[in-house]
Homo-oligomer: A and B are copies of this chain.
Amino acid sequence: MTITISIDCMGGDHGPAVTIPAALSFLQHYPESELILVGLEDVVRAELRKCKAEHNPRLSVVHASEMVEMDDPLEVALRKKKDSSMRVAIELVKDGKAAACVSAGNTGALMAISRYVLKTMPGVDRPAICSMLPNQKGTPTYMLDLGANVDCEPHHLHQFAIMGAVLVSALEGKDKPSIGLLNVGTEDIKGNEVVKATAKLLQDDHARGKLNFYGNVEGNDIFKGTTDIVVCDGFVGNVTLKAAEGIGRLVKHTLTKEFKRSPLTMLAALLGRGALKRFGDTFNPSRYNGGSLLGLRGLVIKSHGGADAVAFEWAIKRSFDAAKYNVQAQLATMIAELMPSTAPGDQ
């Protein structure tokens, strides 16, 4: 079965110079895929010519006359730029022409336009962004929200937990994945009022056998792999994600400097290059690129704005997998079952 993905080619720090080579590489790796490239047609076709890929039958181009800039206020992105590449790519999902959409554009705009065009699922107040981080167990830790909602109430965090559980069930084939609530300590007394109230909601779900709530987790637990899922508001999640990337770069910088210090350490680096490469691969942020916007009536995947072609291709793969494993239908079913507002009989 062919799966079609729409791509906002103009989004991100690098635009078509990154998104189009990534799309072409993805097409080669995934023969069951088709891609719709959305953007300024001249620019997109010029980049395709540059890549000698003008005539690929699994690839089509849809023109969009505008683009959302990284610093566009939400109102401009949403109300003024009605023919932006981001919006057109999302509309293709709404119209059923694409199974999912990928964009590296402004997160706030992507979420706002997605909500406007696709609408949220019944029972969901606010969609969230969920992505993966590496951990000591070698399995990914899924974390949400990573930046869509900078101010959250307990019922939002509660919904994030449910959506995260559904995503991990679908993508990892795990029954009842464990959920941790990110806090400043593991004890019940720790945290702000929002987190404490969220813990009560999740404890109730756990007691009723609906969710596998582990309890509070701390920042270090993300990378220990204490739980399959870590739930937090979008401010904390975004800062933590970017801090993790920053440490990754600091580690690379320091390792390189230390191994270049003398002929002996350079020889060590040469002999240990396999170990160093595998080490680097574990922390390569490209591998973890592609956050799922969960809770919408359609699949939207957000790539890091600064993603290179390798990283952007991972985001496309993420959207392909989500479509293939039918995350959307599973979300709808499980949300209808789990969300209190749509299942009052559960209370």
Contacts and interface: CB of A to CB of B under 8 A. Distances in A.
A110 to B, nearest CB: 13
Contacts of A253: 136
Contacts of A264: 271-272, 274
B250 A279 contact: no
A58 interface: no
A275 B246 contact: no
Contacts of A136: 249-250, 253-254
Interface in A91-106: none
A73 interface: yes
Interface string A158-189: 00000000000000000000000011100101
Contacts of A269: 268, 272, 275
B258 A244 contact: no
A24 interface: no
A151 B261 contact: no
Chief secondary structure at chain A's binding surface: helix
Q: How large is the interface on A (under 10, 10 to 19, 20 to 34, 35 or more residues)?
A: 35 or more
Given A135-B250, A250-B136, A218 B239 contact: yes
A282 interface: yes
B259 A275 contact: yes
A269 B193 CA distance: 48
Contacts of A254: 136, 279, 282-283
Interface in A241-288: 241-251, 253-255, 258-259, 261-262, 264-265, 267-272, 274-276, 278-279, 282-283
A193 B232 CA distance: 18
Residue among A147, A190, A193, A195 facing the most chain B CB atoms (10 A cut-off) = A190
Interface in A12-31: none
B238 A219 contact: yes
- Which 5 residue pairs of A and B lie closest in terms of their CB atoms, listed nearest first? A268-B272, A219-B242, A220-B246, A219-B243, A223-B246
Interface of A: 70-71, 73-74, 108, 134-136, 147, 150-151, 182-184, 187, 189-193, 195, 218-224, 232, 234-236, 238-251, 253-255, 258-259, 261-262, 264-265, 267-272, 274-276, 278-279, 282-283
Given A150-B192, A269-B275, 15 more contacts: A134-B250, A150-B184, A150-B191, A184-B235, A191-B235, A219-B242, A219-B246, A220-B243, A223-B249, A243-B244, A255-B275, A258-B278, A264-B271, A265-B275, A272-B272
